[in-house]
Amino acid sequence: GDFCFSPDGKLVFGVRGAYQRESTVIAFVRSSGEEVWRGEEYHQIDEIVCSPDGSVVAFHSVGFDRQNSKIVICEAQSGAVQAEISAGLLPNITFSSNGQFFTANEHGKIVIRDTVTCREIRRFGSHLGIVQSVRFNSADTRIITTDSSGMMRLWDVANGDEVLSHWRWKTSLTPECPK
């Protein structure tokens, strides 16, 4: 979406000019509307999420040529940019429930990164279609991904192995549905 709340509900992080050529993230106090910080301008911000502990905000900026898209990680209290990471057009940024990791679609591969250092922890296999969603389970031991072809995949976070795959619109696995 083009806004999100801090976990304690005191701050709102909004995108001014969402989906437009020039966009910026603005943090403001929910109760008063007072601006806390305003980030740099980026091209077409189309997704923003806050970590569960409220320490960082991540957003996605679509590149001018739609090839140079990036995920930007900012400190939630100051707006200081911690990292910019090359990404695909639909990154689906998701934080683990403990906020230690975040995952995103980076050019068709699902990547888990450390929230503080942004260091890559694990890279998962790719999908045939465009990845549409990425979510951690509540224990942060698995992630589930879905793509535009209708495939759902369940991955083991610890080793990166695919645990299960299933076509959403099929009621049972058939020979034309890969296992």
- pLDDT in the model for residue 178: 38
Rounded average pLDDT over 68-96: 88
**Residue whose structure tokens are 């589930």:** 144
Query: To the nearest whole number, what is the mean pLDDT of the chain?
Result: 84
- Look at residue 179 and tell me whether its pLDDT is greater than 60: no
Q: Residue length, the chain? A: 179
- Look at residue 28 and tell me whether its pLDDT is greater than 70: yes
Rounded average pLDDT over 94-109: 87
- pLDDT in the model for residue 177: 34
- pLDDT in the model for residue 66: 63
- pLDDT in the model for residue 74: 95
pTM of the model: 0.82
Two tokens at 3? 């806004």
CA distance 23 to 64: 12
